[in-house]
Structure 1
Amino acid sequence: MNIKEAKTEIINTIRAYNKKDDLGCYTFPLVRQRPILLMGPPGIGKTAIMEQAARECRVGLVAYTITHHTRQSAIGLPHIETKMYQGKEVSVTEYTLSEIIASVYRCMEDTGNKEGILFIDEINCVSETLAPTMLQFLQNKTFGSHKVPRGWIIVAAGNPPQYNKSVREFDIVTLDRVRKIDVEADCDVWMEYACRQEVHQAILSYLRIKKENFYSVENTVDGKFFVTARGWEDLSEILKSYEAFQIPITEALVSQYLQKEETARDFTAYYQLYRKYGTDYGITDILEGSLSDRDYEEKAAMAGKGGFEERFTVVNLLMGALHTSFAGFAGREGKLISLHEALGYLKNYVREHGEIQEIEAFIQNRRNSMEVKIEAGLMTEKEIGKENWVIGKLEEYCLNLKKEHIRKSSEGFERIKEYFSRETHERSKEIEKILEQTERAFRFAEKSFGDGQEMVLFVSGLTQDTLAMDFLSLHESPLYMKWSEKLLYRKEEEKLLEECRKEESMLE
């Protein structure tokens, strides 16, 4: 199973385990709620999908790497209590609340989420003293004498023995009480995720050409050599940062993230080519239509005569430039939607308040609400950025009303609607610009590569880009439609030919 399928399984489990009847009572028997045990190589995104699943299901998340804990922090500290048994007073050892269980309750208090995921990573690498506690946890959903609260599902993760010498094998009794899911690295699935996460376009381009270098873990007599999904994603961030400061990208830097010499060297060389081709071809000028006819013809001819790697890199440069436009539009579209929703709330607010100063109170209430959510950990960095933009726009509108000496809130709201219409007008101009860029990219690809495999890569790459599809499904690009239909027809034709060949071979 790949990591995307594992995420879907976790989401389905949350919904199944936490299903309630009409009276609000859980319907799934607690004794049958098996914990999920994810087993797979390191760095493929097991922790990341926990965050995504929790966010999509709107539940809490408490994550622990269990190797960082002792037996005392896991099950609590012992203390002596006096009990009466059959009329006799005896001293009994009990335990304080487990730090892990306490974190679950703290999450419930901070976020208001009464349901969630308790994620325990590296569960099969615990110390000898903690191993029995972990087995009890998986089998009985307790740490010591403290139960995991109802509504919280347990997900544990570990690495197979070939990746970690300290791994402990689970016995059949334990495995018979969990849902074991084996997860494998999958480049195509990660690329889909990487596009959404704005991973550096040079990395995406490289892995489209050399998928075999996506993931590798080797234990040899000479040492450990590995390349992981986590390494690529972290490398992406340092590339963006270094480029912003114009710091050179060296093999020494890349090898800090891709700890396999051959892959680090190969990617560094490709990165330098990617940057050079981006300069040589002037992709931005091609999409803006600012090249002279002569320069345009020269670049199209250069691309058509290039070697395999150069041609595919040019296609990836085109896709990368378009993706940047699609991503920018998606970000601004999300902000406009949030602003429109805020204006809906403001409309109801001004009905009840007459003076323009009340709009300022509305803005302040919204800011206060955001700060409370940030404190509770209920907002991502992107959500915080979007909300700050919305509040900034509302403050800008309010300032404009003051400049125009508008005092009545009802009149002010009508003026605000006019301000917002300017935003939507700019949106229409941006849509038109991106469609023109898309058409120019296709015309350049047509002139350079005809209907060769480069065009297949171009169309399929756009089709797999969720941001591109979000845009093109609403705003039609004639050339995208033409080539996607043509390639679909070609696939159907090849499928029919293959079926005919099978029929012929059977007759023979």
Structure 2
Amino acid sequence: MNIKQAKQEITNTLKAYLAKDQLGNYLIPTVRQRPVLLMGPPGVGKTQIMEQIAAETGVGLVAYTITHHTRQSAIGLPFIEKRTYGGEEVSVTEYTMSEILSSVYQLMERTGLQEGILFLDEINCVSETLAPMMLQFLQCKTFGNQALPEGWLIVAAGNPPEYNKSVRDFDVVTLDRVKRIDVEEDYGVWKEYARRKNLHGAILSYLDIKKDNFYRIENTADGLQFATARGWEDLSELLYAYETLGIRADREVVGQYIQMPRIAKDFANYLEMFYKYQKTYHVEGILSGTWENITVLELREAPFDEKLSVMGLVLSRLSEEARNTRCQDALTDALHTSLTEFREKIADAPPLTVLDQLLWKRRTAMKQAKEAGQLDKESRDLKQREINALEDYRQRLDREAVAPEGAMDAVRGWFGEEVERRKAVAMETKDMFDNAFRFLETTFGNSQELVIFVTEITVGYNTSWFVEQFGCDAYFRHNRELLFDSTRHRIREEIAAAKAAEQEENT
């Protein structure tokens, strides 16, 4: 299955394991809660889906790369304890708590979360001395004589032997005690994720043209060469940072992330063309509605790959602006919730005190979410922006010496500025969508290029969210036409099939 399906399957498993009956007991006894064994090639997103599942289900996450551990850190250090058996005192060996189990208990104490996921990566690459302990843990959920707390799902990830020479095979006894999920790379699924995370447009448009270069691992005469999903995502972050700093990424830089020289060279060349198209076709002019006729004529006569690249540039900018709108919308909603709470409490406490309490509450929640492994970059930024806004309200109330009875009106007015900012961002983005459609209609008419463009907006997380929330007449018009054409094509196929069946019966 692909990584999206694996994520859903693990989420369902977690929900099933944590479900309780009317007496408060787990529906599936702990002894029957099999650990999940997630097997798949490196860099496809196994670790990331653990973070996503923890954030979406509200449970804790403790993650370890097990190859970084020794036998002592995994099961604890031995010490001598005195025991009395049959009236005779004897010395026995006990163990300190495993560092891994200790981390689980520490997270439970820090965050108050009693249930979670223990993620052990590279499980089948452990050292020879640690291997028996890990097999015991998968089979019995214990390190030595210490057990994993109830309510914690074990997810162990590993790589198949074709990707890692140091892997160990699991025996039947172990495999019969785990829930095995095999994962394969899937560009379509990764692209959904990449669109939501707003990965660099050059990477997405390049991989749309050359999907086979998305994920490759090869053993060559020069050694192991590879291009992975992780490599493309990390390269995207670097490209954004380089562009901010005015630094140009060359083939050597690309090769540090995409460690397959042929693909690195190919993408580096494409990246140069991508930047060239950005200037040649004046993408910002297209989105502002100020393009020149020569731009239309040049793109109309351009090769198909070049057309795809330019549309990729336009889509990337639209996705970026749609994402900014979505984040501003989320901030407005979060602040509205905070101010509702503020309004309810200022009747019983001074406004500054209430804001201090709200700030403490939000900061504590952010810290706990971070410690629990539930905070991705977007969530972190949203929480920080909300805290910054509340801090600004507090400072302005104090600085302007606003009377308690006027505090709500003052804060409501400042919040109104945020609402207006949301409206302005949305209107600006909507104009960009309208201008993009007008340009493409002028350039291509109702051609396959426009079909591709509409499809990409539909499948893009940020762009589809935007048109659903704020509308885009051109998008809905073309989308209806696509649906009509699709239905008409299906009906024609059904009629043709019926005629063929009828002719076959007559003969």
TM-score clears 0.5: yes
CA distance in 1, matches of 2:494, 2:206: 35
Residue aligning to 2:361: 369
The offset of 1:123, in angstroms, is 0.7
Match of 1:249 in 2: 249
Q: 1:470 — aligned with what?
A: 465
Cα distance in structure 1, aligned partners of 2:123 and 2:401? 65
Would you say the 8 A contact 2:235–2:254 is kept in 1?
A: yes
- Distance change >3 Å, CA 242–CA 462, structure 1 → 2: same
**Number of matched residues?**
499
Residue 426 (str. 1) matches residue 416 (str. 2): no
2:429 match: secondary structure: helix
Contact 2:61 2:117 (8 Å CA) reproduced = yes
Percent identity of paired positions between Structure 1 and Structure 2: 46
CA displacement, residues 184-239 of structure 1 (integer Å, 9 cap, x when unaligned): 00111111111121211111111112111100011233310100000001101111
> Is 1:98–2:90 an aligned residue pair?
no
Aligned structure 1 segments of 4 or more residues deviating by more than 4 angstroms = 378-381, 398-405
Question: 1:494 maps to what in 2?
Answer: 489
The Cα shift of 1:13 comes to 0.8
Q: Deviations over 1:266-291 (max 9, x none)?
A: 11111111111111111111211234
Name the counterpart of 1:444.
439
Which residue of structure 1 lines up, in the alignment, with residue 305 of structure 2?
A: 309
CA shift digits 1:11-61 (9 cap, x unpaired): 111110011123322221112111110111001010110111011111111
Please tell me the root mean square deviation across aligned C-alpha atoms, in Å.
1.8
Instruction: Return closer, same or farther for 1:65/1:406 CA change in 2, 3 Å cut-off.
Output: closer
Once residues 429 and 365 of structure 2 are traced to their aligned partners in structure 1, the CA distance between those partners, rounded to angstroms, is 35
In structure 1, what is the Cα distance between the partners aligned to 2:140 and 2:475? 55
Give the Cα–Cα distance (whole angstroms) in 1 for the partners of residues 481 and 29 of structure 2: 53
AA paired with 1:363? Answer: L
Q: Which structure exhibits the higher relative contact order, with contacts defined as CA atoms closer than 8 Å and separated by 6 or more residues?
A: 2
CA drift of 1:491 comes to 1.9
User: Which residue pairs with 1:187 in the alignment?
Assistant: 187
Letter in 2 for 1:286: I
Q: Could you list the per-position Cα deviations for residues 439-472 of structure 1 after superposition, in whole angstroms to 9, with x for gaps in the alignment?
A: 1111111111222221121011000111112121
Structure 1 window deviating more from structure 2 (375-384 vs 307-316): it is 375-384
Q: Give the match for residue 29 of structure 1.
A: 29
Greater displacement, 328-337 / 426-435:
426-435
Q: Which moved more, 1:487-496 or 1:441-450?
A: 487-496
* Residue type at the aligned position of 1:60: G
2: distance between equivalents of 1:14 and 1:387? 26
Shift in CA distance, 222/397, structure 1 to aligned 2, threshold 3 Å: closer
Aligned to 1:85: 85
Q: Does structure 1 residue 326 correspond to structure 2 residue 322? A: yes
**Contact 2:363-2:387 at 8 Å conserved across structures:** no
Distance, in Å, in 2 between the alignment partners of 1:418 and 1:76 is 58
Following the alignment from structure 2 to structure 1, what is the Cα–Cα distance between the partners of residues 500 and 217?
Answer: 43
Matches within 5 A, 1:43-192: 43-192=43-192
Which segment is superposed worse, 110-119 or 485-494? 485-494
8 A contact 1:351–1:410 mirrored in 2: no
- Pair 1:484–1:38, CA change in 2 (3 A): same
Distance 1:229 1:373 in 2: 32
CA distance in 2, matches of 1:398, 1:66: 46
Show the counterpart of 1:388.
384
Check 1:68–1:394 CA distance in 2 against 1; reply closer, same or farther (3 A cut). closer
Q: Measure, in 2, the Cα distance between the counterparts of 1:474 and 1:375.
A: 31
TM-score under structure 1 length normalisation: 0.94
Q: Find the aligned partners of 1:433 and 1:369 in 2 and give their Cα distance.
A: 34
Compute the TM-score of the two structures, normalised by the length of structure 2.
Answer: 0.94
2:483 and 2:108 mapped to 1: Cα distance? 50
Tell me how far apart the structure 2 counterparts of residues 171 and 209 of structure 1 sit (CA, whole Å): 43
Q: Describe the shift of the 1:305–1:229 C-alpha distance in structure 2 as closer, same or farther (beyond 3 A).
A: same
Amino acid at match of 1:272: E
Q: Which runs of 5+ in 1 are unaligned?
A: none
1:351 Cα offset (Å): 1.2
Relative to 1, partners in 2 of residues 1:463 and 1:217: Cα closer, same or farther, differing over 3 Å?
Answer: same
Mapped partners of 2:365, 2:469: distance in 1 = 33
Match of 1:454 in 2: 449
1:397, CA displacement in angstroms? 3.7
What is the SS of the residue equivalent to 1:91?
A: strand
Corresponding letter in the other structure for 1:364: D
